[in-house]
Amino acid sequence: MAAKVKKKEQKYLRLLLHLERLIGNETDPVSIMATIACELYHSFKDFNWVGFYRVTEKDILKIGPYQGEHGCLTIPFDRGICGAAARKRTTQLVDDVSKIPYHIACSPKTKSEIVVPLLQKRKVIGVLDIDSHKFNAFDSVDRKYLEMVCEMMVERIGKGPANKT
């Protein structure tokens, strides 16, 4: 078990370095989101949908770059696991989405999900959403490193001239 966790941590650390190299000095939010969605999707076989929702107006999330089958276009803050992550400004880790009455089933195949808020200082600018066709696909290691990916991303975006999502 410990060896498995260590292997996963090492994989995430390699991925973080790879992402930093790929992103370089880029600050454009869409370019960065597209790159991260692509790399995460292709790195983990149990990640069946990886993408971003962006806050485009008060309490509204709109779909951004993603990989996987099509996702819903708009999610208000008071709906879905994505809405909960945006509203509460904390990561939502769901082992079994059928147990969450407010879960929005973009795909009936989704069994578990993790949603990490993108926080620019205290302000939520979007969320990273990852779905899996397996139950319990995400754990505290995923949470820790996906939060690091999001922090790195928000920091890069914050260096941009327009600083918008």
Check residue 104 for interaction with ligand SME (CB under 6 A).
yes
- Binding of ligand SME by 54 (CB under 6 A): no
- Whose CA is closest to 115, among 153, 78, 88? 88
User: What distances in angstroms separate CA 49 from CA 66, 90, 111, 133, one per listed residue?
Assistant: 7, 20, 11, 9
Q: Taking the chain, what is the end-to-end CA distance rounded to the nearest angstrom? A: 39
With CB under 6 A as the rule, give the number of residues binding ligand SME: 14
Q: What gap in Å lies between CA 85 and CA 114, rounded to an integer?
A: 9
Q: Which region, judged by CB under 6 A, interacts with ligand SME, from 13-21, 38-46, 106-114, 155-163?
A: 106-114
Q: Is 47 in the site for ligand SME (CB under 6 A)?
A: no
- CA dist., res. 120 & res. 96, Å (int): 29
Q: Write out the E strands in the chain.
A: 49-57, 60-67, 74-76, 92-94, 112-120, 123-132
Piece of 9-17, 79-87, 140-148, 150-158 that binds ligand SME (CB under 6 A):
79-87
CA distance 124 to 15: 24
Interface residue with ligand SME among 131, 145, 149, 156 (CB under 6 A) is 131
Task: Examine residue 129 and tell whether it contacts ligand SME (CB under 6 A).
Answer: yes
Tell me if 110 sits within 8 A of 97, measured CB to CB: yes
Least CB distance from residue 58 to ligand SME, whole Å?
18
Task: Between 72 and 152, name the residue whose CB sits nearer to ligand SME.
Answer: 72
- The correct pick among 19, 40, 82, 149 for binding ligand SME (CB under 6 A) is 82
User: Least distance to ligand SME from the beta carbon of 36, Å?
Assistant: 15
17 or 73: whose CB is closer to ligand SME? 73
By CB under 6 A, residue 106 contacts ligand SME: yes
